[in-house]
């Protein structure tokens, strides 16, 4: 028995027993003895948006570390929510086991909450970061919806392969590359303002691609207050290199007098469309007899003649009027090298009293037109997708009525599938800049954090 041994022998026996216990435990000495440091935690973004019922919402990466500890021994979890009605800690999922973990949130309701993300290291030491989370309401077609964050005013899109697209914003001069298979921020951005000498927004509204050249156009109209802003009278080109995630853009040529050319051409042809009146000082662009370009695409089989699709005017400017297309027969030289525009015979399309918000074609010259109202009240007016063969005098065919119950106006078609294939689908993007996404009365374009600004990209069936 231990108590029967001499004192010195008892002390030796206790020390030996302690050594054997530590060995059996693999040397896991108490935390204070190991000298573990305080864990560190960093978020790839401090702000995150989601949507109720969303599929593939944006995520945030969490990087953790602790000196003296294997990073796989650290645990990460949400420890608090400032508004559990929006999202509880149990609605936060953390995946991964290494230095970088991924946090996703399943929203319960529209609104804001601050989520505390905590890392627990060895020795019981912890560290936290706050993730400021905003959730928008559930929408129709949620399973087919993806959100492009970083901008809320999507206005034109160009397919660059692999599910990626370059998306323009009519409130800035920044082009953004997105992976439209998932929700989240841009992969890459290009601010074209300095290259084009633009001090104000160009109000980019239309785009078309020919080979490796993308042509872009501003709205060419006055601003909403009826004031002429020279930068809106801009068309320009970018050259594409690479594709998909490796896409790069280089700004090429530009022209800043296409509006002037259109007004002069219309006046020389009997003032048929009222372009001069629609561009006068004080005239807002989004009126039935206004002046506003929102669509751009090339004519069938052509790399030189482009169609300008007008949101306003309606022709004639009365209920039931037709949508207007004006061909520019030398658009490659206009946007590419600043040549004065030459115009072809105008085209009027019956879109059920709606006008053109975007026009896009595929390599088989099958066109899709996003048709909407000339009015500025996007959510109260109908939208539809029409197919067309690009030939003057041929009637467009409605393929789908687009839903109007959710925030944002339909603005851009990414790419046109083969419309003869049953079930073929096209992705259409909204401009949600004027929408109150989170229920606090703030328009999306005025939100303080880019990560909370977003547009929707939704797939709709358009195939025959």
Write down the pLDDT at residue 376.
81
**Spelled out in words, what is the top-level CATH class assigned to the domain 40-136?**
mainly beta
Q: Do 40-136 and 142-461 show the same overall fold?
A: no
**pTM over the 0.85 mark:** yes
Q: What is the dihedral of CA 375, 378, 382, 384, to 10 degrees?
A: 100
Identify whether the C-beta of residue 453 lies closer than 8 Å to the C-beta of residue 152.
yes
Identify whether the C-beta of residue 167 lies closer than 8 Å to the C-beta of residue 157.
yes
pLDDT tens readout for residues 428-442 = 999 999 999 999 999
Write down the pLDDT at residue 149.
98
Which residue intervals of 189-330 are DSSP H helices?
193-196, 258-268, 275-278
Q: Which of 437, 423, 438 is nearest to 113 (CA)?
A: 438
Question: Domain residue spans in the chain?
Answer: 2-27, 40-136, 142-461
- Across the beta sheet with 454-461, the strand order is 145-149, 454-461, 425-431, 409-413
Q: Which of 351, 355, 357, 414 is nearest to 388 (CA)?
A: 351
Distance CA(275)–CA(263), nearest Å, equals: 5
Question: Exposed (0-12), middle (13-18) or buried (19+): which is 77, by Cβ within 10 Å?
Answer: middle
Q: Which of 172, 164, 160, 221 is nearest to 196 (CA)?
A: 172
Write down the pLDDT at residue 378.
67
Correct CATH for 142-461 of 3.40.50, 1.20.1250, 2.120.10, 3.30.70: 2.120.10
Residues of the chain with pLDDT under 50: 1-33
The verdict on whether omega for the bond into residue 316 sits within 30 degrees of 0, i.e. cis, is yes
Write down the pLDDT at residue 377.
74
């Amino acid at each position: 028995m231990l108590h029967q041994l001499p004192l010195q022998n008892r002390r030796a026996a206790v020390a030996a027993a302690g050594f054997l216990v530590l060995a059996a435990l693999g040397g896991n000495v108490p935390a204070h003895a190991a000298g573990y440091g305080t864990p560190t935690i960093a978020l790839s973004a401090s702000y995150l948006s989601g949507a109720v019922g969303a599929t593939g919402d944006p995520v945030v990466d969490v990087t953790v570390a602790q000196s003296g500890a294997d990073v796989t021994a650290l645990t990460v979890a949400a420890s608090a929510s400032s508004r559990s009605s929006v999202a509880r800690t149990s609605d936060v999922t953390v995946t991964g086991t290494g230095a970088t973990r991924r946090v996703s949130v399943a929203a319960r309701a529209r609104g804001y909450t601050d989520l505390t993300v905590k890392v627990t290291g060895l020795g019981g030491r912890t560290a936290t970061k706050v993730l400021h989370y905003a959730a928008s309401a559930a929408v129709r077609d949620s399973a087919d919806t993806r959100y492009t964050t970083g901008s809320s005013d999507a206005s034109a899109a160009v397919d660059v392969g692999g599910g990626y697209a370059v998306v323009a914003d009519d409130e800035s001069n920044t082009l953004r590359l997105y992976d439209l298979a998932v929700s989240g921020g841009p992969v890459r951005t290009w601010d074209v303002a300095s290259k084009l000498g633009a001090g104000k927004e160009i109000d980019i509204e239309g785009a078309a691609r020919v080979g490796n050249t993308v042509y872009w156009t501003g709205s060419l109209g006055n601003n909403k207050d009826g004031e002429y802003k020279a930068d809106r009278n801009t068309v320009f080109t970018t050259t594409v290199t690479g594709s998909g995630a490796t896409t790069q853009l280089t700004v090429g040529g530009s022209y800043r007098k296409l509006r002037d050319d259109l007004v002069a051409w219309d006046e020389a042809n009997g003032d048929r469309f009222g372009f001069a009146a629609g561009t006068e000082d004080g005239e807002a662009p989004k009126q039935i007899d206004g002046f506003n370009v929102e669509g751009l695409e090339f004519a069938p089989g052509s790399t030189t003649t482009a169609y300008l699709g007008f949101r306003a005017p309606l022709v004639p400017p009365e209920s039931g009027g037709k949508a207007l297309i004006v061909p520019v027969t030398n658009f490659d030289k206009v946007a590419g090298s600043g040549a004065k525009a030459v115009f072809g015979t105008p085209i009027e399309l019956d879109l059920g009293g709606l006008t053109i918000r975007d026009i896009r074609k595929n390599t088989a010259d099958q066109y899709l037109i996003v048709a909407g109202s000339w009015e500025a009240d996007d959510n109260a007016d109908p939208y539809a997708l029409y197919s067309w063969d690009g030939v003057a005098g041929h009637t467009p065919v409605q393929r789908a009525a687009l839903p109007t119950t959710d925030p944002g106006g339909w603005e851009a078609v990414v790419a046109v599938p083969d419309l003869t294939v049953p079930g073929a689908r096209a992705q259409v993007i909204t401009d949600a800049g004027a929408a109150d996404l989170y229920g606090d009365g703030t328009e999306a374009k005025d939100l303080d954090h880019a990560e909370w600004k977003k547009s929707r990209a939704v797939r709709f069936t358009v195939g025959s």
